[in-house]
Amino acid sequence: MSTDFYNISILPFSGIIIKLCRAYTNSQEDFEDYYQEVCLQIWRSKENFREESQWSTWVYRISLNVCLTLLKKKKNNIQHFVSDSVMDEETENNYAFSDESLNLLYDAIRKLSEIDRAIIMLYLEEKPYKEIADIIGTNPNNIGVRVKRIKNRLKEILDGKIN
Amino acid sequence: MEKSIENIWKEGFLKSDALVAPKINNLYTKKSIHIIDKFKRMFRINLIAIVAFSFIFLVVSFFIGIPLTGVILFITLSVLVVINKKLLNGLESINKSVSSYEYLKTFNEWIKKQVAVNKKISTFLYPVIFASIILGFWFEKTEGTPLKERLISEIIIGFPDTYLIYGIPLIAIIILFLILGLLAFFGGRIYMWDVNIIYGRVFRKLEELMADIESLRS
C-alpha cells in the first residue's frame, strides 16, 4: 500500500474505522486485524469511488461491509464471523478507552445484532436517517423506529451502570 | 441524573486516547483475512490443482494403457474448471462500496449459485469418474488382448448360463448402473455435507444478516 494513500486518504478518517471495528471485535488483537483489513479493502476498492457520495460515507460503507463479513479464527481453529463469537465469549479486553462510560456503552452495543450495531453507530455519528438508510440499503422511514428501539434496549442494558 | 447515550459517546471520544489508530505494518503484502478473498484464494488453488492433475493424469493414462480414462477425465475436469472460472469472475465483481444490503445480497446470491452449480456437477462428476475408470480398464490391453475379452471368456467358461447383452453379462450391467445411480444420488449430498461442515455457520450468518435488513425494508 502506498504510504501516501494511507496518510492522505485513510488516516484522517481512521476515527470512523476505529469506532466501527471496536463495535465488532472484543479484543485488541482482533481490533488491530480488523483495522488493517478494512484499510486494505479501502485501498483495493479505491477505483470504485465515484464521488457520488462523500469520501467519509464511502469509507463508512466499506468499513461496515468488511466488518459484517470478516472471518475470525477462534482458538479451536474454527472460523466464525467475529460478531457472532462476541456474544458467546468472555470478552478479553473491552476496556479499550480510558473513559469508563464509553467502555460500558461499547459493551452494550456489542450485545446488539450486527445490523443494529451499524445503525446505532451511524446514529451516534449524527448521520441523518436518510444517509443511514442509504448506507444500510433500507427504508429511511423504518430507521427512526429502529433507532428508538435500539436506544431503549441500550438503556435497559446500561440501567444503573452509568451515572 | 443518568447521561444519555449520545452524551456518553460525545464525551468519551473527546479524550485524546480514544481514537489512536493502531500501527500498521506491511499492509500491502498482508494476506487478506476477508471471506471473499479467502474464497478467491481457495477457488484459484482448486482450479490450478485440477488443471495440473488432469494434465498429468492424461499423460500418465497413455503410459499405463488406460487412455480412455485419461481423456474422459481430462474433458470432464476441463468443463469443471471453465464453469468454476466463470463463478470466480462473479466473485471478483462483488463491490464492497455499495450499500450493505446490496453487498450482502450479491455475495449471498453468489454463494447460493456456486453451491447449486457445484452440487449439480457433483451429481454427474462421481458417476463420470467411476464410468471412465471402468471403461479405461475395460478396453485396456494386456499382451494384445483387451481386458473385456479375457474377462468375458473366463465368465462364459465358469458360468456357461450367463445371460449376455452385447457380449456383456447382464448382472454386470445391473451392478454397474446400480453403482452409477448411487454415486449420482449421493454425489450432490456428499458435496452439501462437505460445504455445510466448512461454511455452514457462515451461510447461516449471512441469511440472518439478510433477514434483519429485509425486516427493515418492509
Query: Among A23-27, A104-108, B69-73, B158-162, where is mean pLDDT lowest?
Result: B158-162
Contact A162 B3 (CB under 8 A): yes
Confidence band for B6, pLDDT divided at 50, 70 and 90: very high
**B22 touching chain A per CB within 8 A:** yes
- Find chain A residues with C-beta within 8 A of B100's C-beta: 61, 64-65, 68, 115, 118, 135-137
Torsion angles phi and psi, residue A79, rounded to 5? -85, 135
Residue type, B174: I
pLDDT at position B7, please? 92
Q: Are B47 and A140 in contact (CB under 8 A)?
A: no
Which of helix, strand or coil describes residue B112? helix
pLDDT at position A18, please? 94
pLDDT at position A88, please? 46
Which of helix, strand or coil describes residue B7? helix
Most confident range, picked from A98-107, B20-29, B161-170: A98-107
From the centroid of its chain, how far is CA B71? Answer: 21
Q: Shortest CA distance to B118 belongs to which of B207, B46, B54?
A: B46
Which residues 95-154 of B are in CB contact (within 8 Å) with A? 95-104, 107
Q: What does the pLDDT average to over B109-126?
A: 92
B15-18 long-range contacts, CB within 8 A, separation 24+? B15/A97, B15/A98, B15/A99, B17/A97, B17/A98, B18/A97, B18/A98, B18/A99, B18/A102
Which of helix, strand or coil describes residue A73? strand
Taking CA A45 as the corner, what is the angle to CA A42 and CA A51, rounded to the nearest 5 degrees? 95
- pLDDT tens for chain A, 163 residues: list them: 556 888 888 989 999 899 999 999 988 889 999 999 999 999 988 888 887 788 888 999 999 999 998 866 554 444 545 454 444 444 555 567 888 889 999 999 999 999 999 999 999 999 999 999 999 999 888 999 999 999 999 999 998 676 5
Q: Shortest CA distance to A20 belongs to which of A30, A9, A7?
A: A30
List Cβ neighbours of B46 (8 Å cut-off, separation of 6 or more): B84
Contact B205 A162 (CB under 8 A): no
Q: Count of CB atoms within 10 A of residue A18's CB?
A: 22
Q: What does the pLDDT average to over B61-72?
A: 93
pLDDT at position A75, please? 47
Separation between Cα atoms, residue B26 and residue B145, nearest integer Å = 64
pLDDT at position A87, please? 46
Q: What is the dihedral of CA B160, B161, B166, B171, to 10 degrees?
A: -110
Separation between Cα atoms, residue B8 and residue B10, nearest integer Å = 6
**A24 touching chain B per CB within 8 A:** no
Cα distance from N-terminal residue to C-terminal residue, chain B? 38
Give the ipTM of the model, two decimals please: 0.83
- Portion of chain B with pLDDT greater than 90, in percent: 50
pLDDT at position A51, please? 78
B77-83 long-range contacts, CB within 8 A, separation 24+? B77/B50, B77/B51, B77/B53, B78/B54, B80/B50, B80/B121, B80/B125, B81/B47, B81/B50, B81/B51, B81/B54, B83/B117, B83/B121
Enter the C-alpha cell of residue B111.
454463494
* Chain B: residue whose CA lies nearest to A78: B198
Confidence band for B195, pLDDT divided at 50, 70 and 90: confident
Query: To which H or E segment does residue B165 belong?
Result: strand B164-165
Enter the C-alpha cell of residue A154.
441500550
The crossing angle, in degrees rounded to 10, of helices A14-24 and A100-110 is 60
Please report the sign of the dihedral spanned by the C-alpha atoms of residue B143, residue B148, residue B151, residue B154.
negative
Which of A17, A50, A138 to mutate to test binding with chain B, by most B CBs within 10 Å of its CB? A138
Separation between Cα atoms, residue B71 and residue B87, nearest integer Å = 25
User: Which member of B5, B13, B213 has the closest CB to residue A137?
Assistant: B213
What's this model's pTM, rounded to 2 decimal places? 0.82
Instruction: Please say if the pLDDT value at position B178 is more than 50.
Output: yes
